[in-house]
Amino acid sequence: MAGLSICINTQTPLVQFLEPSDGVLVGADPRTSVVLEGLREGIDYRFSPGGVTRMVHPMVRRLLEKGVLREAHWVAFNPRGPRTVQMGEMTLHHVSIGTERMDGYGKVKEAIWGRIHEIDSAPQHDDLFWTEAFAEYAYYNRLTAEQIQRLDEEHDFDVFYVHDFQQLPVGHMLGTLKPKIFRWHIPFDVSVIPDHWRALLSTYLDSYDVIVVSARRYAASLAALGPRGRILQLPPYVDPAEYSRPAPREAAKSCARFGIQRADQLALVVGRMDPIKGQDRAIEAFRQIAAEFPSVKLVLVGNGSFSGSKQGLGLPKSAGWRAHLEELVRAAGLEDRVVFTGHVNQTELDALYERCWFTILPSVREGFGLVAVESWLHGKPTIVTRRSGIAELIQDGSNGLLFDPEDPDGLAQQMRLLLDRRSAELRSRLVRNGRSTSKKCSLDEAEAAEGALLAEVTEA
Amino acid sequence: MLTLVAFWNAFKPYLAFVVIVLLTVLVAWLVNGLVGRLMRQSAPQAAGAARRVAAIVVALIGGTLALQTLGISPAILLLVIGLLGVTVLVALREPLGNYGSKYFADLYTPFRVGDTIKVLGWSGKVLEVNAMSTILLSDDEQLVSVPNSAMIRDVVVNTSPQAWKEVVVPISISGNVDLPAFESDLHKSLSKLRFRLDRRFPPVVTTKSRTPQSTDLSLILMLRRPEDRESLVVEVNKRVAETLDRVRGAKR
């Protein structure tokens, strides 16, 4: 097989361009093309955090290395990025919309996201697809489809792989008979989708040959909507090789930056600043146990999403949520016990995983929850919300601890279990079994599944 | 001096020819725009065809007049055109009939690819509407080709669920129109009609075909009440034309 030519589409770009203190923003001119190799990571650019890009990038790299892919083009929203970025054998293409359209686009995607995650059931959103804001959402998706169409004329792709619910209309707008795969990363529960949304969602979903979801229950619920294409359940994945133990000196330096002492026991929460991530639940549970365990600190890692950043849509959600969390911490008198790190680089993240006692995934709803896999890869026990895709892989007390996000008392109880002096055996069991479970979400395991999927749709 | 006069006399017919050709192009362009304006409320395909016909008529008249200045008799020219036209019509009567029917079927028959219809005693799912015929897949998986002329002459029953609700508006836009801006503006414009439409089915714009010169789209809407069909089609066509004008204007 000569290898496939693939076009990937995500909303979040793989690379975000930064405003360096010593020069001009590299991506300031959307007409330019740049080669990433000549730029400095952390100064000129950074890789987008978050599950989608973290998962897709290693897979594309691996499939290119193995010759399953011949070439890869990745189209994403990036209004502050150059037109194209050459990154080894992969080319990143950026779509940009005017600031006057960003507000409408952002409103629609947030409303869809809020409804799917069951945090926003405002009845006025039932008519979302008739609003003027939807016109901007359609504009962005059509613009993306047009860009992909132009690239297809040039490269004659074998397959299109579209990720993220924001991009769902792209498949329909492409108007091509070539195979199209859609990966739905967030939860899917057909019962929360308003009647007024179903026909359009079905039209869009019907344009894909395969729809990939992260959990069995999402697949079952999606089947009730009866899409034309096949539904495939495939857990998200990470590349274990990207997770390394930092040198002790490096770890100490990183922790010192956040005021973390050697004697501190850390409960770690990694996730962007967003109400859906449930950091408020973690703070409430921590408030309940703080006096019993005076050496414990709660560390909240994460910043806003790409949509909330000034490189993206500039939505104000994350700043407001962080202010709310800081207020909760103040009200509980825990200012010196709760650490907000903001965005951290990979070394700092590795250091915090290395130093933590356990991790918590407190999300109100979570499409999957790769943070738990990261925790296992770092050899740390994890407490996971039952309302996540990864909860399907967890047996309470065997490879993780589960709790209901509406029950902070339950979370506090699970935290007590892991902090108890007699918990050594439980901790070691959770780590051992967790590490074994993490293999189901590894790049090696997924490579075969993704390769088979590409072979199936292209009949290669 | 004499040479100059002789040159002018020899050159004059050619100059007149060029001037008439230029005037013809100008008038054809004006007539094209005028017909487009007069047919704003018609289906965009019908308006487009009328504009082309008007421009061709002007071109024929202008061409005949221009050739006359070169000494070619208009009577002979018209005779040749007429005879050629009759020959083509006689020779291609059936295919032209089907092609014409396809054109009108596209605009006015209440079905589209994917619907299930009954016609001439046949029943099946519409797989394709080509220039000559409509291809059905019958219940026993036979391919049935129904001449397009039958779609105009005979009774066609669309048995698809909720078929009465569906309004399909074909739209053809030239390659230089900003498609994302057009679609976005059209959504805004159509949202004003939502009280006449079934709100469970927002407008869907689908790309049917595309060339560097043009893109054919179909706009699908679902009615709330069957009696609104005719007035809604007129209103939607008007809004499509207005949106196209707006997007073209914004580009200029």
Q: Would you state the pLDDT for residue A18?
A: 84
A-chain residues near B200 (CB < 8 A): 195-196, 198-199
Identify the closest residue of chain A to B190 by CA–CA distance: A130
Identify the closest residue of chain B to A129 by CA–CA distance: B202
Q: Which amino acid is at B129?
A: V
Structure tokens at A455: 């072979």
Rounded Cα–Cα distance for residues A164 and A184 (Å)? 6
Contact at CB, B180 and A127, closer than 8 angstroms = no
* CATH architecture of structural domain B2-91: Orthogonal Bundle (1.10)
A-chain residues near B210 (CB < 8 A): 149, 175
B-chain residues near A139 (CB < 8 A): 180-181, 183-184
**Domain A240-441 CATH superfamily:** Glycogen Phosphorylase B; (3.40.50.2000)
Residues, chain B, total?
252
DSSP code for A49: P
Q: Assign B192 a pLDDT band (cuts: 50, 70, 90).
A: very high
Query: What digits encode the pLDDT tens for the residues B71-81?
Result: 887 777 778 77
Contact by Cβ (8 Å): A334, A286: yes
Rounded Cα–Cα distance for residues A137 and A144 (Å)? 11
**What is the complex's ipTM, to 2 decimals?**
0.83
Q: Which of A290-299, B98-107, B139-148, B225-234 is predicted least confidently?
A: B98-107
Contact by Cβ (8 Å): A58, A35: no
Contact at CB, A175 and B208, closer than 8 angstroms = yes
A-chain residues near B205 (CB < 8 A): 138
B-chain residues near A196 (CB < 8 A): 199-200, 202
Q: Chain B: give the shortest CA distance to residue A10, in Å.
A: 18
Q: Chain A: give the shortest CA distance to residue B136, in Å.
A: 20
Residues, chain A, total?
460
pLDDT of B37 over the 80 cut: no
Give the bridge partners for A73, in sequence order. Answer: A7, A91
- Number of C-beta neighbours around residue A121 at 10 A: 11
Mutate to test the interface with A, among B207, B215, B221, B224 (most CBs of A within 10 A): B207
Q: Where are the domains of chain B?
A: 2-91, 112-154, 163-251
Measured CA distances, B83 to B56, B62, B78, B87 (Å):
18, 20, 8, 6
Contact at CB, B180 and A143, closer than 8 angstroms = yes
Identify the closest residue of chain B to A128 by CA–CA distance: B202
pLDDT of B180 over the 70 cut: yes
Q: Chain B: give the shortest CA distance to residue A138, in Å.
A: 6
Give the bridge partners for A232, in sequence order. Answer: A212
Torsion, CA A103, CA A106, CA A112, CA A116, rounded to 10: -140
Q: Would you state the pLDDT for residue A112?
A: 93
Angle between helix A132-155 and helix B179-191 axes, rounded to 10 deg = 160
A-chain residues near B179 (CB < 8 A): 142, 146
Interface of A with B in 43-102 (CB under 8 A): 101
Considering chain B, what is the average pLDDT of its residues?
Answer: 84
Q: Would you state the pLDDT for residue B230?
A: 85
Are β-strands A356-361 and A382-385 bridged in parallel, bridged antiparallel, or unpaired?
parallel
Contact at CB, A199 and B202, closer than 8 angstroms = yes
The domain B112-154 is classified under which CATH number: 2.60.40.10, 2.40.30.110, 2.30.30.60, 3.40.228.10? Answer: 2.30.30.60
Q: Does B127 touch chain A (CB under 8 A)?
A: no
Give helix then strand counts, H and E, for chain B: 7, 8
Q: Where are the domains of chain A?
A: 4-237+442-458, 240-441
Place of tokens 């108890």: A420
Q: Would you state the pLDDT for residue B155?
A: 87
Q: Would you state the pLDDT for residue A167?
A: 96
Contact at CB, A130 and B191, closer than 8 angstroms = yes
- Number of C-beta neighbours around residue A410 at 10 A: 18
Q: Would you state the pLDDT for residue B98?
A: 63
Q: Would you state the pLDDT for residue A304?
A: 67
Give the number of A-B residue pairs with CB atoms closer than 8 Å.
59
Instruction: Give the CA angle between residues A81, A87, A88 to the nearest 5°.
Output: 170
pLDDT digits (tens), chain A, 460 positions: 579 999 999 999 999 888 765 555 565 566 678 898 888 888 888 888 777 888 999 999 999 999 999 999 999 999 888 889 999 889 999 999 988 999 999 999 999 998 998 887 777 788 899 999 999 999 999 999 999 999 999 999 999 999 999 999 999 999 899 999 999 999 999 999 988 899 899 999 999 999 999 999 999 999 988 899 999 999 999 999 888 788 888 888 888 889 898 889 999 999 989 989 999 999 999 999 999 999 999 999 988 666 666 666 666 667 788 999 999 999 999 999 999 999 888 889 999 999 999 999 999 999 999 999 999 999 999 999 999 999 999 999 999 999 999 999 999 999 999 999 888 899 999 999 999 999 999 999 999 999 999 999 998 6
Contact at CB, A130 and B199, closer than 8 angstroms = yes
Contact by Cβ (8 Å): A390, A372: yes
Topology (CATH) of B163-251: Alpha-Beta Plaits (3.30.70)
Rounded Cα–Cα distance for residues A382 and A429 (Å)? 11
Q: Does B192 touch chain A (CB under 8 A)?
A: no
Contact by Cβ (8 Å): A240, A438: yes
Place of tokens 């709660």: A298
Q: Chain A: give the shortest CA distance to residue B75, in Å.
A: 50
Q: Does B177 touch chain A (CB under 8 A)?
A: no
Q: Does B12 touch chain A (CB under 8 A)?
A: no
Q: Does B210 touch chain A (CB under 8 A)?
A: yes
Class of the CATH domain delimited by A4-237+442-458: alpha beta
Contact at CB, A135 and B184, closer than 8 angstroms = yes
Contact at CB, B200 and A138, closer than 8 angstroms = no
